[in-house]
């Protein structure tokens, strides 16, 4: 059974990245072993939505949802659509930008995306028990 811990819809502007971080941070106890990873990944995915999709245009929005499922947490970030481009990990790990999905891939157990009408939803899963240090 899935239990939604919280959801928020924010305007597609840069300051919303900080708002999303605070929102996610407040959903988990300060000493939770996954809190920092969830906040970092949430920050990256919201930033990507604002930078690379219609969410960053006038009137755009981004929605953040955190849910607890059996044995894992699921973070979802829905944007206003990317006009045909899809979330992906860039091949150049030394690039000065474009490393957001590489961070997501490193911290999460699994990630992917799905289309939801005109919106794109990036989902990220974290096993409830924190993974051993890398």
Give pLDDT tens digits for 22-74. 999 999 999 999 999 999 999 999 999 999 999 999 999 999 999 999 899 99
Contact in structure between 92 and 81 (CB atoms under 8 Å): no
This prediction has a pTM of 0.85
What residue spans define the domains of the chain?
3-127
Q: What is the CATH number of domain 3-127?
A: 3.30.565.10
> Long-range contacts made by residues 97-103, C-beta under 8 angstroms, separation at least 24?
100/44, 100/45, 100/47, 100/48, 101/44, 101/48, 103/40, 103/41, 103/44
Predicted pLDDT of residue 133: 46
Name the CA dihedral angle for 21, 24, 25, 29, rounded to a multiple of 10 degrees: -170
How does pLDDT run across 86-117, given as a tens digit for each residue? 654 555 555 555 556 778 888 999 999 999 88
Residue 89 · residue 101 · CB < 8 Å = yes
């Amino acid at each position: 059974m899935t239990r939604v811990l919280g959801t928020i819809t924010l305007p597609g502007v840069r300051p919303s990245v900080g708002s999303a971080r605070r929102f996610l941070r407040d959903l988990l106890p300060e000493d939770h072993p996954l809190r920092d990873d969830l906040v970092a990944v949430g920050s990256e995915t919201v930033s990507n939505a604002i930078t690379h999709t219609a969410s960053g245009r006038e009137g755009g929005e981004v929605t953040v949802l955190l849910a607890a499922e059996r044995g894992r947490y699921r973070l979802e970030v829905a944007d206003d659509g990317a006009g045909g481009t899809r979330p992906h990990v860039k091949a150049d790990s030394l690039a000065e930008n474009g490393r957001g999905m590489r961070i997501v891939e490193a911290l999460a157990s699994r990630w992917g995306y799905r289309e939801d009408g005109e919106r794109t939803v990036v989902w990220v899963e974290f096993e409830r028990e924190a993974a051993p240090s890398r």
